[in-house]
Amino acid sequence: MTSLRRTLEKDLFQPNEEHVLTMVHVSKLLKKKKTSFLCIVVNNEKPISVTIHQVKGEKNLYKKKRSWQLNELKSVDVIKDVETHDFDLQFDKVYKWFAFNLQERQNFIITLWEQCQKHLPKQKPPFQNMPEEWKTDSNHLIQNEVTVAPETVEMEDYLALTDREEQDLEKLMGQCEFAVSNAEAFMEALARDLSVLDGENVHSVLASEQQVAQLMVQIEAAIAEAEKVEARLDAYDEVLCHIRDTMEKMEEKNLLMEVACRNNQKLLDELDQVISQLDLPHKHQMALIDADLTSAQGLQSAIAAGKALMAAMNAEIHPALVRLAAVQEQRKRFEKWKTKFSQTISRHLNNLFIHLGNDAGETLSFHARDLTLPKHNSIHTELKAYTPLMHWCKAMDRKAYIALSRVYTNSLSKLYERDIKQFFEEAKQQISGSREKKGKGSGSNQDITGKLKHQAQQFGPSKSPVPSGLLGVEREQWGTEVDEAERQRFDDVLERVLAELEPVCLAEQNFCVSFFQLDVLSPTTKNTQTTLDGLTAEVKEEVDSSSSTVAIPQKKIEKQINEEVRRMMSDLFTCLEPELMAFISYYEKIDSFYCMYVLVRLSQHVLSAEDTGSFLSKTYGLALVKVKRIFDNFMKAQLKSIEEAKVNRKSKCGILSYVENFEDFARTAETIFKNTDRRTDLDKSYIKLVGAMFEAIPRNAAEHHKTPQEVVKMENFHHLYALLSQLKIGVLDGLRKDAKQKYNDALKAYVTQYFGRPLIKLNVFFEGVLAKVAQGVKESEISYQLAYSKQELRKVIREYPAREVKKGLENLYRKVEKHLCEQESLLQVVWRAMQEEFIQQYKAIEDLIQRCYPGAMITLDFSIQDILDFFSEIALSH
């Protein structure tokens, strides 16, 4: 322990001129593995201060962990049991220690007690359970410490020589020559000199005994005076301590007074701010109680009073101040004024909305080239002055705001319903070119009924009218057809209708967003948004959390705003989508081609819309979906009509209905869809329709019992090929080539089947010749075969004179003429193909004669020129 004490003094305390009085090896009460040292240290400078250090060390490295000044010690618990190792020291909190050595523990506590007695005369901490013998026998206990550590005491009693003592020692050693060489002789000489000096001192003292007695009397008197001075100093010290304690208490009181003064000033400022925020001028109070919304001045006063009331009810006030009785009383006054003001606004705007909704408004006038939908800008202008009041209602009285919104939509929806219905009726009149006024009620239904009756009378009681424009139906069976001029008028009027609806809906939407503040979401579902409700902490936290969740996702806010705007616009224009679809359906029933015009126009307006989330864009989008469905159904009906098409019962089949009708269909569709964004839809339909025709033509060809199948396929594929070549539709180019190939195949098959072999016996004869050649007979030796001799050949040739051949060709021409229809003019084409076929057969027979019967001078009765003349004469004669 002594060496450890030296190490600690050297490393930690001597650099700060501090001295270790005592130390004890300890650990915390319940953590005996973590050890440390408690040291009582006093500094060598004045004023003297005593410090208690906790020192921890690892691997001969020590450092101070905690330090406490002696005056920070509040109490010491020694524990009654003398043999216990525990003791408690209370500073900022109670520290429980376990001492490994009982003697070290006792010396540490006694030293701590002595330092408290010496340096803390007025504020001595209590030493609980400390034995009295430790206090009375402290000198004896301290002596034990000296006995235990004599080296330490020697170290403490050692004093270094002063400069004066060093000079005297050097002078003394200088007087003796052997002081360094013979230390023992030098010490003996010093001892002799010291004995002589002691003797002389004794003789001197004995000689001056009387003087000594007088000196003792004077010393005793001085001691008595010193004791008086010390007693007076102690009294002064007590007075100074009392004064010090009094000054400290006064200083604490002054600090408390300053804190109280600052708090009072802050409270006064806060109250002044609260009063200024919650104070509502008298003129605003009167304007809230008795608001005049009919005059401009009264309206401005009401708006200003409403803003002031809203600002006061939403003042930024600390939640603690909100619970003040005065604040709550003022809040009740605000609620009373708010209720009265809200009732006044609701009553006035409610009457105003109803009045404006009942206004007759503008009357639609019919002009040949002018179709307009009335714009209610005057209503918006009149209501614009009340916009701040409507915003106030949304923030302060949500129930009144919702009720006024409903009254507005109910009133204005009637006005718009009347205008839109009249607008579409006038549009119908412009399309039909009628100048007559509408009859009673449903004129459109009467028109449709009249047309259906006309169609029923036309087709008779056993037939049902067929929709016009179906490809697979004969044109004679179509209903009443619509001319191109009326279709063009429909397209122009439809564009006008869609263009007129846009500014009206957009103006109403912009007004509603501004007037009803639809672009601002309420942070809470409460009826009144105010900061003076005195919410509990739980409710306030819930409101704050709900507000934060609304404020974070920006996309969700925009979505909710758009939904709110569309909801209000849907309530205002409830009849817009039904009337638009009724208008479209009305004309689609008359002529299915109208759905193509609507599809193109609606697509243009939907794609060109600036605000794709607006009410009108959504309405047009929904209508476009329905029109696209009508268009798809129309194309399905076309496909079905092609699949179910029946051939006519005439002697000549001719061009099938869907092939013939496709020209008008395609030309009309190309006019409608030219340079539009819906071209892809038409191209898809083209492919399906033409593909269905390719499948239907062979099937229908087989159904006609009078016209050969090859003729039906040849004529229809030729017609389809010529039509596709004229239309020049890029997506059908591949099918155009297929149509040409099918036409050529059908032509070849017809020529092969009906031209046949007009020189049949010659053909059979030479087939036998070729068979012999195939068996190995040389061509030059064929004439030696009995059945194929030259005489047999001449006999067969005599059966086909030129006159009989021409007669057979005339019969064939009449048969072909009977099969083919005049519409396609394919008779000369087929006749030319048969001529080429005849010439090929003639050349084949001539070639075989030259090869198998060379030099026999055998030829047919007619030449190629005769054949050409025959075909030409027959064609010209007919």
Contacts of 655 (CB under 8 A, 6+ apart): 715, 716, 719, 821, 823, 824
Pairing of strands 86-90, 94-99: antiparallel
d(CA 20, CA 39): 7
Tokens of 437: 């006024």
How distant is the alpha carbon of residue 776 from its chain centre?
90
d(CA 831, CA 871): 8
Locus of tokens 């919304």: 293
Is residue 396 within a helix (H) or strand (E), and if so which, with residue range? helix 387-396
Contacts of 527 (CB under 8 A, 6+ apart): 397, 398, 399
Cβ atoms of 109 and 130 closer than 8 Å = yes
Please report the DSSP string for 449-469 in residue order: HHHHHHHHHHH-TT-PPBPTT
Whose CA is closest to 576, among 623, 609, 610?
623
Cβ atoms of 455 and 480 closer than 8 Å = yes
Output the CA angle 658-663-664, nearest 5 degrees: 100
Tokens of 181: 């060489």
Tokens of 275: 């009063």
Please report the DSSP string for 582-632 in residue order: HHHHHHHHH-TTHHHHHHHHHHHHHHT-S-TTSHHHHHHHHHHHHHHHHHH
Q: Report the length, in residues, of the chain.
A: 878
Per-residue model confidence (pLDDT) at position 153? 36
Locus of tokens 């067929």: 466
On the 0-12 / 13-18 / 19+ scale of CB atoms within 10 A, 184 is exposed
Q: Torsion angle of alpha carbons 432, 497, 578, 665, nearest 10°?
A: 60
What's the average pLDDT block by block, 10 residues per block, for the chain (878 residues)? 79 81 88 86 82 85 87 87 82 89 89 87 84 70 41 44 78 74 80 85 77 85 92 91 90 91 90 83 86 88 88 82 83 87 90 82 48 85 90 89 91 89 88 48 42 41 52 66 78 88 89 88 59 48 45 72 86 89 86 86 84 81 90 90 78 76 87 87 90 88 78 84 88 89 84 71 81 83 78 81 77 75 69 80 83 79 78 73
Per-residue model confidence (pLDDT) at position 459? 38
d(CA 823, CA 700): 18
